[in-house]
Each structure stands twice: as C-alpha cells, then as structure tokens.
C-alpha cells in the first residue's frame, strides 16, 4: 500500500508541475490572481514529493522486500541507519531525493520570495516547474522507485559495503541540496532573462540560494573527500575521479557566481557574466549527475550503468541547458551594463577571481571529458589522471590564493592608494614561512612550498578586512567572507603540508615486528578475528609510540557476507599536528601481513579549512537574512 | 557583450552533447590498429617499478615465447577494472610483463596489493618515454610481443571480459 501511495503522490506532483508551467506560460496579461495560484501549486508539489520520498524511506525501514528497489539494495539484518541511508544509496532513490529537493526549493521560493516583481517571479516559478517536470518524467518512465517484485524474496541483496558508513548517510543529501539549490539561481536567471529584467533585484533574490547551495556543496565535497580518505584506504584525499569532478565543477561555478552576484547586487555590474554563471552552475550540476548516472566515464564509485537512462538525462539536459543558453544569447545583448570601474578596484579583483575560477572549471571539465573526446575523435581509450590535473590546476589555484591576499582590501570602483602597506602583515608572515621551509625542509617540491607560503600569507591577510572597524558593527557577511578566506588558507596549508611532509611505509610484518614511520615507532602486537552486525573481520593491534605518547591502532580487513566483499577499514589516530594512518592488507605465503602506514602532518587542516569555508558561507547567509528584515539604508549593501 | 561570443557557451554544449551521444550510440567501437604492429619493439631498458619485481628491458623478449606487455598506472581507474582479467590470463598460462607509467614504487606496490599482481616483470617509465615510443598514448594498453621481440597486436583501453578470448587467441597465434 505504501508503495502505491508513494507512486500516486509522485504522479500528482508531476501533474501539479505541468499545471504550474501552464499557469506561468499564461501569465502574460494580468499577473495578480494567477501568481497566487502558481504559488499554491508550487507548494502543493513540494508537499507531495516529500510524501513520495517519505514512503520510500518507510519501505526501506520496514525492509519491504516486495518492492524491487528494496530487495535489490537492502537487507533485513542491516543496522537501521543503513536501511535509512540505503534509500538514496541507489539510482532510483537518489533521483527521487534529487526531485524532492528540487520541488521543495520551488515551494520555498514560492512561499518566501518577495524581492522579485510578480512577473519575474512567475517566470522563475515556471522555469522551476519545467525543470521539475523533466525529472518527474525521468523518475516515472525510466526509474520508478516503487516498482513491485512478485513473488517477494525472503531477504534482500544488501548494500555495497563500501557505502555502509555513517558519513555516507549524509554525504549525497548534502551534495544534492547544493546541486539543486543552484537550480533556483538557474530559474531566477531564466526568469530575469525572459522578463528582460536583469539587475540588482535579481542578484539579491539569487544570493541566498547561491550562498546556501554553495555552503552545502562545500560541506558535501569536504565530507566526501574525508570519506574517500578513510574509507578507501589509499591515504589520499582527492583522486580527480569523474564523480569527484562532478561535484567540484558546480562548486567552482558557484564560487565564481557567489562573488559576481555581489558585484551585481552592490554595484549593478557584471550583469551578463552573472547570468551566465547562474546558468553554468546548475548546468554543471546536471552534467555531473549525467556523467555519474550514465556510467559513461569509468569511475571508482559504483552506480548503475544504463544507456537508456543516460539518453533520457542527456535529452533533458540538452533541452534545459540548450534552451537557457539560447535565451541568454538572444537576450543578453539588450542588457545594459552597470556602473563602470577601473582595473584596480574591488570589481577588478572580483573579475580576476571569476576568470581564474572559470579557467580552473574549464580545465576540470576538459580533463574529465577528454577521454571521451579523444575516443570520439581518434578511437583511443585513455585515462587522464592526477598528473594532468595537479600540474595544470595547482598553479592557477595558487594564483587565485595570491589574488585573495589583496582583492578583499581594494575599494569599489577605483583604488589609487598604495597596495603594499595593506598586505604588509601577510607578506611578513609569508616570507617568514618561505625562509623557514627553505632552511628546515630544503627537499620539498616547488608547489607545496608555494602552497605553504601563500597559505601563511593569506592567514593574516584574510582577517585584515576586520581591522580598523568596530567589530560589533561589522556585518555578519564580512565576518563570513573573512572566515571563508581563512578557511581557504587553512585548507591550502593542510594540502601543501600533506604533499610535502607525508611519510609512508609499506611493510610485511609478523606480530612482534617494529616499524618506523616519521616520528612514530609502530609495534605490530597481534592479529585477532572480530565480528560486527553483518561482517566478520581480522583486526590488527598496532601500538604506535612517539616520545611518551602511545596510541593503539586497530585497522581491519573486513569481510561482508551480503554481498560477499572485502573492505579495508583504515585505523586513524588524530593528534594536534597530524594523523597516523594504518591499513591492514593480505597475508603473504610466509605468515607475514601487509601493513601500510602513513604519518601525515597537519593533514586534518584540509577538512578543517573546508568546514571554516562552509561556516563562513553560513554566517554570510544568516547575516543576509537579518539585514533583509531590517529596512535598508542607502548604500549599505556591503560586500560579503 | 559581443555578438559572436554570446554563442560560445551554446557551442560548448553542442560539442559536449555530440561527443556524449556518440558515446551512448556506439558503445562497442572498433579499435584502430597501431602502426607499430608488425614492427620490432623499440629498444628500452627500464628500472624496476616496485620492490621485489624485476625491471623490464626490450632484450627480455628474445626468449622465443610470446608475452603480453600491459601499459598501466596506479592512478588509472580503468586499470583497476582490467586487473582481474589480467590475473585470469596469467592463470591460463599467458606470461605478462608491465610498464608502469608516471608512477611511484609505493603506489605501484599498493595497486598490486589491492588488485593482484599478474606481472613477471614491471618496468618503471616515469617520463612516459617508452610508452610514447611504443605508440601508446594512454593507459591502459596491452601489447602482444612474439618470441623475437616483434609487436604482433595492440589492445587499446581496458581489457574487458569479452576481449579475453581474442587476446588469448592472438597470443597463441604469435607462437
């Protein structure tokens, strides 16, 4: 019964989306009454998709094996958290989650948006309905999550054990909130272009959505990176895998958009560019989803590969992105540009930021798709790996960091005052760190050295906009900016430190052996079998000592019965200055165990920085909400 | 905004859609044989790519028996996909050597640990020089070299289950 109720809600929601689109299309003449019905329909659509998703969650929690999706992806013996997260640990469920977030975003927009004029809001909700309609069709015709299975099997086929992890329970929903939040920016841009209304009001309406989506993407990427780091047991934190790139590309576009939308809101400038970025950001979310779901690129992440579904999403994204870009091409010539500015100014810095981010986005896009293009053109299959991405993207990222040192301190419009005194504290700290790395660690590579230097320069520089002003009266948005930029600095120091100072040992050891890694002496004491709720494992006992400090590490080689799979559970111990990371491998023929040990100084800063960036975004978002509710004073719209 | 540049994004989209629909439409493409097929191996001498496994030299192929050479890298995801199939070929008695491209010993060791080691010798090619001399521009690729050091067959991209029979047959023919 629950499955049928879920399916019915989904159909009804799809019908409401069609109605919403029709109403919006008919909104030419008298917008008064129609807009309120569009609003009501959008809210109804949101509620119905939540119901549909809730039914699927309930089916998973109750392990209803008469539903095909549950039987294929769940198991009655799984802990409840993984039954719950199993709802979206598969293709159909994750698409339903995607659609639910999309419809909810539309509903929230309909409920709360008051800054846009009626017609622009009508056109925006129409665009949102059109997006939703396509994805409803995709769910109903190509990936029905509620399909029944008869006869029902006794028990299910489990869930990929790699995905049985608390981190995973919240990783995809976070990313989806980000992807789909960008859909609202997309719809507002389409609405603005349709109504030929591209100005600061559009930017103000778009800004909270971009900020929220960007915070979610930042959190999602940070969590995903940490998850890959401890779960895959490879010791790395970023692999330039297509699925990772699929989340990085919208983030890069959203980061650029976040900055340009402020220029539009505050100064009325960068109109065409901001509209373009708003379209590109969500387009990248759809392209990412497509690349991941179609299985067109080989990835370490496991997803259902299905050319029919691939074609369906491809058709959808061609219509949506193609339509929006065509609209852009024909309407943008009529858009007036805002207030002029000099190259050395806040606007100039933001334009440089946008260009750099866009170039990095282009590099990741080309690198991700290059194997595909190369095969189409020359018939060769190949893989573009970290050597390409690291070599091309890192220098640009460093350049971007250098820009971050100075740009936030420039004035709007033009800035003739000398720049050097303003970045002096950063330069002092940065050159100190540069000297220190040259003297103390002469052997490290150029990129890590520059990373450490620029990161250190950026720490004081990012906080400098807070100087010389009353901290109590500083808007939260400015605090947010400083915190986010500080987060970038912290994260960069972590990345540079990881690539410069990591120590690694691969050893074949018997119980009783001692292995040295970095400052640690690791004693392999014992190996014992242990059992969990749905797995059995061999667990090593490692006693790692450094000076007087002793930690015990228990890496496991875990065996899951349903489906039969072995995973390595890394053991990680975090101290203030880094992590020691241990992985237990196979046993060789002579009774020795493969042990892989890393000492990674300050590696945790990578994710700590990521969290700071997200926190900065969240502060700015909160600040926006409070400022929106106060009557606005003229010229008060400071930059976030 | 200039009149021509506003159409650039559309062009990029068209290019993307074109490439992707081609891929969706032609899932099993024909592969283009390399010009080096039928030619002797270029001379090379590679250091060992990982502790405990010998390096690879072009002289190793003058053994009178045909061998496979797999060009791979630990950072290459399709290489993971083909690893079990290489193991299967080795189990069937096909001797396999490898060239690890732009790789580090620890990474290769970890790759072999995780995905098995079907290789007798592994040469390290840190600058891709041998890879390029072989006429291979990407990883993974697999060559069949006969007992006189002549390249008899080149397989581009990851070996899939459906390729096993053909590779095995080509190897038999190279005897």
CATH code at position B153: 3.40.30.10
Which residues on chain A are in Cβ contact (under 8 Å) with B13? Answer: 283, 318, 321-322, 325
Nearest to B10 among A326, A333, A387 (CB): A326
Q: 3-state SS of chain A: helix, strand, coil percent to 5? A: 65, 10, 25
- Are A379 and B30 in contact (CB < 8 Å)? yes
- Half-sphere exposure of A445 toward its Cβ, with a 13 Å CA cutoff? 15
Residue numbers in A near B103 (CB within 8 A)? none
Let me know how long chain A is.
Answer: 640
**A383/B78 touch (CB, cutoff 8 Å), yes or no:** yes
**What is the predicted pLDDT for the residue at B103?**
85
Domain housing B85:
31-173
Cα-Cα-Cα-Cα dihedral sign, residues A491, A168, A14, A316:
positive
Domain ranges of chain A: 1-164, 167-336+350-386, 504-601
Q: How many CB atoms lie under 10 A from the CB of residue A288? A: 23
Residue of A325, A390, A567, A595 best to disrupt the B interface, most CBs of B under 10 A: A325
Please name the residue that has the structure tokens 């691969």: A506
The partner residue sitting opposite B157, judged by closest CB among A241, A300, A381, is A381
**Which residue in B3, B13, B139 is closest to A321 by CB distance?**
B13
Q: With CB atoms and an 8 Å threshold, state whether A382 touches B138.
A: yes
Q: Find chain A residues with C-beta within 8 A of B78's C-beta.
A: 298, 381, 383
What are residue A410's phi and psi, to 5 degrees? Answer: -80, 155
Q: Taking CB atoms and an 8 Å limit, are B13 and A322 in contact across chains? A: yes
Best A235, A242, A322, A329 residue to mutate vs chain B (most B CBs within 10 Å)? A329
In the three-class reduction of DSSP (H, G, I as helix; E, B as strand; rest coil), residue A150 is classed as coil
In a domain, residue B159? The reply is: yes
Indicate whether B21 belongs to any domain: no
Of B17, B27, B113, the CB nearest to A594: B113
Q: Which helix (H) or strand (E) segment is A209 a member of?
A: helix A200-231
Give residue A489's pLDDT: 95
Percent residues over pLDDT 90 in chain B: 10
Q: What is the chain B residue with the closest CA to A242?
A: B77
Report the DSSP pairing between strands A549-553 and A556-560: unpaired
How many distinct helices (H) and strands (E) make up chain A?
17, 10
Cα separations in angstroms, A317 against A130, A295, A324: 12, 16, 10
Chain B residues near residue A504 by CB distance under 8 angstroms? 106
Record the tokens describing residue A164, joined without a space: 């049985």
Please check the confidence at residue B94 and state whether its pLDDT lies above 60: yes
Please state the ipTM of this predicted complex: 0.76
Question: What pLDDT was estimated at residue A544?
Answer: 92
Residue A554, classified by CB atoms within 10 Å of its CB into exposed (0-12), middle (13-18) or buried (19+), is: middle
Closest to B20 (Cβ–Cβ): which among A300, A314, A383?
A: A314
Please count the other Cβ atoms lying within 10 Å of the Cβ belonging to residue A304.
13
Contact across the interface for A280 and B9, Cβ inside 8 Å: yes
User: Which residues are registered as beta bridge partners of A552?
Assistant: A543
Residue from A385, A388, A391, A588 to probe the interface with B (highest B Cβ count within 10 Å) = A385
Task: Kindly report the nearest CA distance between residue B156 and chain A, in angstroms.
Answer: 6
Q: Which residues of chain B does A324 touch, with a Cβ-Cβ cutoff of 8 Å?
A: none
Greatest alpha-carbon pair distance for chain A in Å reads 84
Instruction: From chain B, pick out residues whose CB is under 8 angstroms from the CB of A296.
Output: 20, 23-24
Nearest CA to B36 out of B147, B125, B169, B137 is that of B137
Contact A375 B29 (CB under 8 A): yes
CA–CA min distance A269, chain B (Å)? 13
How far is Cα A316 from Cα A321, in angstroms, rounded to an integer? 8
Domain count, chain B: 1
Beta-bridged to residue B46, according to DSSP, are B56
Look at residue A161 in the predicted model and tell me its pLDDT: 62
> Position of tokens 């021509």?
B4
Output the six-digit token pair for A140: 């109903």
Q: Which residues of B touch A279 (CB under 8 A)?
A: 9
Question: Could you give the CA distance from residue A100 to residue A106 in angstroms, rounded to a whole number?
Answer: 10
Shortest CA distance from B8: residue in chain A: A329
| Average pLDDT along chain A, 640 residues, taken 10 residues at a time | 91 94 74 78 95 94 87 80 84 89 92 85 92 93 86 69 68 86 94 88 92 94 87 79 87 95 85 92 89 62 59 89 92 76 84 92 88 71 74 90 88 80 87 91 88 93 84 86 94 93 87 90 90 82 88 87 71 89 80 87 94 95 75 44
SS (H, E, C) chain B: CCCCHHHHHHHHHHHHHHHHHHHHHCCCCCCCCCCCCCCECCCCEECECCCCCECEEHHHHCCCCCEEEEEECCCCHHHHHHHHHHHHHHHCCCCEEEEEECCCHHHHHHHHHHHCCCCCEEEEECCCHHHHHCCCCCCCEEEEECCCCEEEEEEECCCCHHHHHHHHHHHHHCC
Of chain B, the end-to-end C-alpha distance in Å amounts to 66
Mutate to test the interface with A, among B106, B110, B132 (most CBs of A within 10 A): B110
For residue B79, the chain A residues in CB contact (below 8 A) are 383
* pLDDT given for residue A28 in this prediction: 56
- Tally C-beta pairs within 8 A across A and B: 118
Strand partners, A637: none
Integer-rounded Cα radius of gyration of chain B:
19
pLDDT at res. A185: 95
Give 3-state DSSP helix, strand, coil % of chain B, rounded to 5.
40, 20, 40
Residue B12, in any domain of the structure: no
* CA distance linking residue A109 with residue A125, whole number of Å: 8
Report the alpha-carbon distance of residue A184 to residue A257 in Å, rounded: 13
Verify whether the Cβ–Cβ distance A332 to B1 is below 8 Å: yes
CB < 8 Å to A385, chain B: 73, 75-76, 102, 139
Compute how many other C-beta atoms are within 10 angstroms of the C-beta atom of residue A359.
Answer: 16
pLDDT given for residue B28 in this prediction: 45
CB pair distance less than 8 Å for A381 and B10: no
Q: Residue B138: list chain A partners with CB under 8 A.
A: 371, 374, 380-383
Residue of A nearest to B28 (CA): A379
Q: For residue B155, what pLDDT is reported?
A: 83
Edge-to-edge order in the sheet of strand B151-156: B122-125, B96-101, B67-72, B141-145, B151-156
């Amino acid at each position: 019964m629950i499955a049928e109720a879920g399916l019915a809600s989904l159909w009804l929601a799809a019908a409401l989306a069609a109605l919403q689109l029709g109403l919006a299309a008919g909104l030419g003449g008298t917008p008064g009454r129609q807009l309120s019905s569009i609003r009501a329909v959008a809210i109804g659509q949101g509620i119905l998709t939540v119901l549909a998703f809730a039914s699927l969650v309930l089916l998973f929690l109750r392990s209803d094996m008469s539903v095909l999706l549950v039987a294929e992806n769940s198991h009655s013996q799984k802990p409840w958290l993984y039954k719950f997260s199993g709802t979206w640990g598969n293709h159909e469920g994750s698409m339903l989650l995607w659609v639910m977030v999309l419809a909810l975003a539309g509903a929230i927009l309909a409920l709360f948006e008051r800054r846009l004029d009626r017609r622009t809001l009508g056109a925006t909700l129409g665009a949102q309905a059109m997006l939703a309609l396509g994805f409803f069709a995709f769910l109903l015709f190509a990936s029905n999550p509620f399909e029944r299975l008869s006869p029902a099997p006794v028990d299910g086929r489990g869930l990929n054990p790699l995905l049985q992890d608390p981190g995973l329970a919240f990783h995809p929903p976070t990313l989806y909130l980000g992807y789909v939040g960008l859909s609202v920016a997309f719809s507002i841009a389409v609405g603005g272009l349709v109504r030929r209304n591209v100005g600061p009001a559009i930017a103000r309406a778009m800004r909270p959505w971009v900020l929220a989506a960007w915070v979610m993407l930042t959190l999602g990427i940070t969590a995903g990176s940490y998850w890959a780091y401890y779960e895959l047991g490879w010791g790395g934190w970023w692999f330039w895998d297509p699925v990772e790139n699929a989340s990085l590309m919208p983030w890069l576009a959203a980061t650029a958009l976040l900055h340009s939308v402020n220029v539009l809101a505050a100064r009325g400038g960068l109109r065409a560019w901001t509209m373009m970025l708003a379209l590109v950001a969500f387009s990248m979310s759809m392209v990412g989803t497509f690349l991941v779901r179609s299985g067109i690129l080989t990835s370490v992440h496991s997803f259902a590969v299905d050319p029919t579904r691939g074609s369906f999403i491809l058709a959808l994204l061609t219509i949506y992105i193609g339509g929006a870009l065509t609209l852009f091409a024909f309407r943008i010539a009529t858009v007036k540009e805002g207030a002029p500015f000099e190259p050395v100014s806040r606007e100039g810095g933001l334009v440089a930021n946008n260009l750099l981010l866009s170039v990095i986005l282009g590099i990741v896009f080309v690198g991700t798709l290059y194997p595909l293009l190369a095969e189409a053109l020359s018939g060769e299959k190949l893989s573009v790996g970290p050597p390409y991405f690291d070599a091309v993207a890192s220098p640009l990222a460093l350049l971007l960091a250098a820009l971050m040192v100075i740009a936030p301190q420039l004035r709007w419009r033009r800035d003739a005052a000398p720049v050097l005194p303003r970045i002096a504290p950063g330069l002092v700290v940065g050159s100190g760190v540069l000297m220190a790395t040259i003297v103390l660690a002469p052997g490290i590579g150029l990129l890590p050295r520059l990373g450490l230097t620029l990161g250190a320069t950026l720490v004081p520089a990012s906080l400098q906009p807070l100087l010389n002003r009353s901290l109590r009266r500083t808007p939260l948005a400015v605090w947010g900016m400083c915190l986010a930029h500080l987060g970038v600095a912290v994260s960069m120091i972590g990345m540079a430190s990881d690539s410069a100072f990591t120590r690694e040992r691969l050893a074949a050891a018997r119980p009783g052996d001692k292995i040295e890694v970095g400052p640690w002496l690791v004693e392999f004491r014992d190996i014992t079998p242990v059992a969990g709720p749905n797995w059995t494992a061999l667990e090593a006992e490692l006693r790692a000592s450094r000076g007087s400090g002793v930690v015990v590490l228990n890496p496991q080689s875990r065996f899951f019965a349903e489906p039969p799979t072995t995973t390595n559970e890394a053991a990680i111990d975090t101290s203030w200055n880094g992590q020691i990371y241990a992985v237990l491998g196979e046993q060789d023929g002579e009774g020795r165990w493969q042990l892989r040990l890393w000492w990674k100084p300050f590696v945790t800063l990578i994710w700590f920085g990521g969290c700071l960036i997200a926190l900065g975004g969240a502060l700015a978002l909160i600040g926006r909400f409070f400022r929106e509710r106060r009557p606005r004073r003229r010229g008060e719209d400071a930059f976030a | 905004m200039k009149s021509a540049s506003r159409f650039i994004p559309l062009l990029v989209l068209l290019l993307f859609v074109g490439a992707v629909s081609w891929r969706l439409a032609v899932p099993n493409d024909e592969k283009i044989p390399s010009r080096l097929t039928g030619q002797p191996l270029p001379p090379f001498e590679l250091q060992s790519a990982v502790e405990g496994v010998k390096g690879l030299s072009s002289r190793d192929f003058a053994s009178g028996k045909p061998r496979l050479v797999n060009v791979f890298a630990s950072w290459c995801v399709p290489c993971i996909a083909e690893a079990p199939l290489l193991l299967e070929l080795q189990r069937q008695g096909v001797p396999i050597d490898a060239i690890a491209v732009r790789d580090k010993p620890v990474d290769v060791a970890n790759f072999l640990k995780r995905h098995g080691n079907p290789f007798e010798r592994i040469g390290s090619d840190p600058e891709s020089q041998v890879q390029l001399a072989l006429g291979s521009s990407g990883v993974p690729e697999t060559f069949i070299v006969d007992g006189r050091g002549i390249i008899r067959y080149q397989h581009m991209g990851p070996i899939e289950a459906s390729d096993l029979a053909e590779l095995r047959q080509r190897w038999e023919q190279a005897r």
